[in-house]
A = this chain, B = another copy of it.
Amino acid sequence: MPVFLSSFVNRLDKKGRVSVPASFRAALGPDATGIVVFRSLQHEALDGCSITHLELLSQSLEKLDLAPDMYELIETTIFGGSIQVPFDSEGRISLPHNLATTVGIGDEVAFVGRRKTFQLWDPKKLAAHDAAARSAARAKDISLSKIIAQAASKLESGGL
């Protein structure tokens, strides 16, 4: 199972090319010829994933009973708005300029792993988002060991 972990900041050169982090390329597998990129629904950022993952998403959507307008929204935003970007021989993609500017990406891109997918951020926007997320986590007193403990007790009581 490919897992996207950690974050990396890479430069966009004047041709609009940027290296996809080597570990992400490894997670995509040796056969991957590129990635899929589309605007995030929640953030001022881009979502990226493998082509197979997008197909999986498509299948999942069919299973769900979504409201028609929701379905409509997702169809146009994700599938309509997504683009396929191939790797060059060095593992770079060329990010369309208009797509980059819509999310505030200038000459640097932060690749952020999110397990099954990853995101592309403007590093400054990411830093702000990260700081906000951290203070929210502290405010709600979230701890990982708690989460694991909760899930474990749920597993015990719930069966399996």
Please give the residue numbers on chain A whose beta carbons come within 8 Å of chain B beta carbons, in ascending order. Answer: 3-7, 23, 36, 39, 41-42, 47, 56-61, 63-64, 69-70, 72-84, 112-117, 119, 129-130, 133-134, 136-138, 140, 142-145, 147-148, 150-152, 154-155
Contact = CB atoms under 8 A, between A and B. Distances in A.
29 contacts: A5-B79, A5-B82, A5-B83, A6-B82, A6-B84, A7-B80, A23-B84, A42-B138, A42-B143, A57-B144, A58-B115, A60-B148, A61-B147, A61-B151, A63-B154, A64-B147, A64-B150, A64-B154, A73-B133, A73-B136, A74-B137, A74-B147, A75-B115, A76-B129, A77-B134, A79-B114, A79-B115, A80-B130, A117-B145
A63 B137 contact: no
Contact of A72 (B42, B58, B147): B42
Contacts of A73: 133, 136-137, 142
What is the total number of copies of this protein in its complex?
2
